[in-house]
Chains A and B, each alone.
Chain A
Amino acid sequence: QVQLVESGGGVVKPGRSLRLSCEASGFDFSAYAMHWVRQAPGKGLEWVAIISIDGRNNFYRDSVKGRFTISRDNSKNTMYLQMNSLRVEDSGLYYCARDELGDVWGQGTLVTVSS
């Protein structure tokens, strides 16, 4: 079945790095743009970044520009989010979502940035 599975979350200190992965299955991954969306505990949804089907076009929210890098490997059906210089306010559940409209979502991976 169509599925997205995130991994790579964890507890890190401010200023450190993490790389999140989103593995897709059950559909033609290379035919879809993909997003990352995050949600701080008890808070609303916040769009983070999007990557085009071939990985050549990306957009980020201002607060992560220059620190986060979205990428994908279509041969591995996997999208990544490299997060550098992490801040406390980056903490939350990170979801990957399929397509511009987010018609399929993963269960999320939890990132906690704390000293």
Chain B
Amino acid sequence: EIVLTQSPATLPASPGERVTLSCRASQSLSSTLAWYQQRPGQPPRLLIYYTSTRATGVPARFSGSGSGTDFTLTINSLQSEDFAVYYCQQYHSWPRTFGQGTRVDI
């Protein structure tokens, strides 16, 4: 099973800031990594797939990068609605696995 380790667990930030979230895989994923956002009381929302492709309707301030085992989600100019928990997920092999999440907090 591929283990995904996200860091940091919690990221204090302020509106307007740029933040970078990390996801490290226990083995190479090629580019088969996705990012999800989960706001309180809501289901997850797909943000990024195939490492860097934004899902439909996702603002351009969200960007993904990386390859192999190290991946990054960057949020430019944080908006109030961006304060949430972010999960990475690999779809390289079975079982699909998620990271433990990074909470972006005010």
Of B1, B34, B56, B96, chain A has the most CB atoms within 10 Å of the CB of: B96
Interface of B is mostly: loop
Identify A50's interface contact among B38, B56, B96, CB under 8 A. B96
**In chain B, what residue has the closest Cβ to A102?**
B46
With A102-B46, A103-B46, A106-B43: A61-B95 Cβ-Cβ less than 8 Å? yes
Instruction: Pick from A15-23, A40-48, A69-77, A82-90 the stretch touching chain B.
Output: A40-48
**A residues 28-60 touching B (CB-CB < 8 Å):** 35, 37, 44-47, 50, 59-60
Interface string of B7-28 (1 = CB under 8 A from A): 0000000000000000000000
Q: Is there a chain A Cβ closer than 8 Å to B74's Cβ? A: no
Is the CB–CB distance between A45 and B95 below 8 Å?
Answer: no
Kindly identify, within residues 57 to 115 of chain A, every residue whose CB is under 8 Å from any CB belonging to chain B.
59-62, 95, 97, 100-103, 105-108
Return the chain B residue nearest A4 by Cβ. Answer: B43
Docked-complex contact A95 and B43, CB < 8 angstroms: yes
A108-B101 contact given A50-B96, A101-B49, CB 8 Å threshold:
no
Query: Lowest 10 CB-CB distances: which A-B pairs, in order?
Result: A105-B43, A47-B96, A45-B98, A61-B95, A101-B49, A44-B101, A59-B94, A103-B46, A44-B100, A45-B87
Which residues of B are at the interface with A, using a C-beta cutoff of 8 A? 1, 34, 36, 38, 43-46, 49, 55-56, 87, 89, 91, 94-101
